[in-house]
């Protein structure tokens, strides 16, 4: 990478892989993180871009306060591939458009503002965002580690956590599409941090 050139990295990985931890380490190293989950949250708030479409597409998911019940929606889409495909069809165009707007705005400011822009996106390939990055980083961990992390993080049963894992792109597929693979079975965040910093040194 040329000096002062901003590199755009696509960061992805299945639930429980530790992708968010990698994104946090990259942010601390000076990267701008554009997070797909944050965008997805914003576009489904009442009055926002995808709210009406999602509310009409799925029965009984609007809570009494007028907001979409995200826990109920998640349980539905992770249990039913057709529902997940429907949700992705509605929301992904909005998510991609918003993320690319943020990237283009930063790039328009000229080089030197950020050494890296990271598109943190679980559905990087499904959305087509990989075509807008210089490099794809995939975070992986063995299935049991991911399962335990999901159960602990989201207070899910083992059955619910397994349903989430089964609904996602197989990890082998992600690895085959990656430019950089980060194995993250670490319990010690210092080891993962060292690995990320070494990768960034190699980029210079």
DSSP the chain: --TTPPEEEEEE--TTS-HHHHHHHHHHTTPEEEEHHHHHHHHTSTTSTTHHHHHHHSTT-B-TTSSB-HHHHHHHHHH-HHHHHHHHHHHHHHHHHHHHHHHHHHHHT-TTS-SEEEEE-TTHHHHTGGGG-SEEEEEE--HHHHHHHHHHHHT--HHHHHHHHHTSPPHHHHHHH-SEEEE---S-HHHHHHHHHHHHHHH-
pLDDT of residue 159 exceeding 50: yes
pLDDT, tens only, 75-94: 899 889 999 999 999 999 99
Residue count of the chain, please give it: 204
Question: Cα–Cα distance between 177 and 59 in angstroms, integer?
Answer: 36
Torsions phi, psi for 67 (to 5 deg): -90, 155
Overall average pLDDT of the 13-19 stretch: 93
Note the CATH architecture for domain 7-197. Answer: 3-Layer(aba) Sandwich (3.40)
Of the segments 161-165, 188-192, 194-198, which one has the largest average pLDDT value? Answer: 194-198
Q: How confident is the model at residue 1 (pLDDT cuts 50, 70, 90)?
A: very low
Res. 203: pLDDT tops 90: no
Give the pLDDT confidence score for residue 5 in this predicted structure: 77
Average of per-residue pLDDT across 136-157: 93
Position 10 scores a pLDDT of 98
pLDDT value of residue 186 = 75
Q: Is the pLDDT of residue 164 over 50?
A: yes
Look up the pTM and report it: 0.90
């Amino acid at each position: 990478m040329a000096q002062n050139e901003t590199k755009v990295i696509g960061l992805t990985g299945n639930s429980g892989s530790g992708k968010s931890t990698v994104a946090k380490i990259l942010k601390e190293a000076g990267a701008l993180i554009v997070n797909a989950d944050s965008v997805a949250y914003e576009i489904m708030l009442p009055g926002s871009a995808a709210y009406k479409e999602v509310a009409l597409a799925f029965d009984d998911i609007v809570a009494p306060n007028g907001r979409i019940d995200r826990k109920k929606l998640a349980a539905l889409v992770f249990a039913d591939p057709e529902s997940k495909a429907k949700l992705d069809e509605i929301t992904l165009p909005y998510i991609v458009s918003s993320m690319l707007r943020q990237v283009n705005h930063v790039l328009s400011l000229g080089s030197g503002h950020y050494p890296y822009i990271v598109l943190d996106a679980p559905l990087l390939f499904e959305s087509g965002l990989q075509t807008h990055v210089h490099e794809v980083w995939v975070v992986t961990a063995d299935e049991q580690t991911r399962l335990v992390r999901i159960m602990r993080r989201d207070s899910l049963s083992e059955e619910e956590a397994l349903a989430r894992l089964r609904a996602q792109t197989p990890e082998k597929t992600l690895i085959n599409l990656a430019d950089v693979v980060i194995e993250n079975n670490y319990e010690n965040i210092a080891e993962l941090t060292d690995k990320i910093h070494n990768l960034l040194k190699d980029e210079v």
